Amino acid sequence: MKRDRRGRSALGVAASAGLALALAGCLSMGERYAMMTTPSAEAWTAWSAHDAASTRSVDHGAWDALLKGYLRVEPSGQVLFRYDAVAADDREALDAYIRRLTFTPVDRLNRAEQKAYWVNLHNALLLRLVLTRGPVDSVRDIDLGGVGVPGLSPRPGPWSRKLVEVQGRPVSLDDIRHRILRPLWRDPRVHFMLWNAARGGPAPRPRALRAEDLDLQLDAAASAYVNGPNGIADTADGGLSVSRLFLWYRDDFGGDDGAVLTFLKRYATADVATRLARADGIDAYHYDWSLDGAP
């Protein structure tokens, strides 16, 4: 197979040139399947109701305490969670926090409070799943059933199962990400605040998302992921590999490789910006689904 000046295969060059995903086998079968099974962003319009004049706030102090007590930062910069160390009273505090959130009149909040509410609820629900269904090697090993993608096997993991009721409506993790946050706010930065409990994903942030400094926290989360150990990497032949997060949600980041690279450069520190400047395009994707638990 013909190779370019950096020794990449013709398929790699085609991918970096941003050709249509359905053409020329630019992506592996697994990558194409992952894109096909990623739910589209279709708004659950009932949750668009809000009170723009509201000064009501939601107390996320219990979530702050859990994060402070059990996050651990490795020398590599990897942020891990000490699932096995969570005490019984803190598990009860998590249950109480989730219960309070489900009783919150979400439609009476302003938009910023709602955005923070849904992000924090998603992350708290995910933690409770890992604590109650573990030990597991990966969050995808938690099989709760749920609705699969028509014509395809269900995605592994607990994403589509309804977990709680909010204002009388059963809600799943997929609902929060794909039917509420993505379509109603159209802010790609939320992906870096939504925890996947995976070593390759965005790490849990050190404090709950809050309305009063929403943009600062979202920018900080995006910067941490882009410049951290999981955002970008070099391939064996010197090309650019980026997190599959940017493949699964490429439409949210602009729809093509060029737009993804532009987003990455917006948040890149000097060292990462230098690596991105050398890239002709995106040559590969990576993601580690192993549980982000600290020993």
pLDDT tens string 202-212: 999 999 999 99
- Report the distance separating Cα 151 and Cα 284, nearest Å: 27
pTM of the model: 0.87
Question: Which alpha helices (H) appear in the chain, and where do they start and end?
Answer: 10-16, 29-37, 61-70, 88-102, 111-133, 173-174, 182-185, 214-227, 245-248, 257-267, 270-278
Is the pLDDT at 152 greater than 80? The verdict is no
10 or 176: whose pLDDT is higher? 176
Q: Are 278 and 264 in contact (CB under 8 A)?
A: no
Is the pLDDT at 7 greater than 50? The verdict is no
Please identify which residue in the block is written with the tokens 């942020």: 79
Cis status of the peptide bond prior to 135, with omega within 30 of 0:
yes
Task: Using CA atoms of 130, 134, 138, 141 in order, give the dihedral in degrees to the nearest 10.
Answer: -100
pLDDT of residue 10: 44
Q: Worst-scoring range by mean pLDDT, 14-23, 88-97, 141-150, 234-243?
A: 14-23
Is the pLDDT at 188 greater than 90? The verdict is yes
- Report the distance separating Cα 252 and Cα 260, nearest Å: 9
- Report the distance separating Cα 111 and Cα 214, nearest Å: 11
pLDDT tens string 44-54: 999 999 999 99
Q: List phi, psi (to 5°) of 8.
A: -85, 150
Q: Nearest 5°: CA angle at 245, between 241 and 249?
A: 120
Give the Å distances, CA to CA, from 37 to 80, 114, 154, 238: 27, 27, 8, 30
- Report the distance separating Cα 36 and Cα 32, nearest Å: 6
pLDDT of residue 37: 61
Q: Are 142 and 159 in contact (CB under 8 A)?
A: no
pLDDT of residue 177: 97
Give the Cβ contact number of residue 78 at 10 Å: 16
pLDDT of residue 248: 95
Q: Are 112 and 119 in contact (CB under 8 A)?
A: no
- Token readout for 153 is 């096997």
Domain locations along the chain: 10-39+228-286, 45-224
Question: C-alpha 60: how far from its chain's center?
Answer: 20
pLDDT of residue 41: 87
pLDDT of residue 34: 52
pLDDT of residue 269: 97
- Report the distance separating Cα 212 and Cα 121, nearest Å: 17
pLDDT tens string 73-84: 998 889 999 999
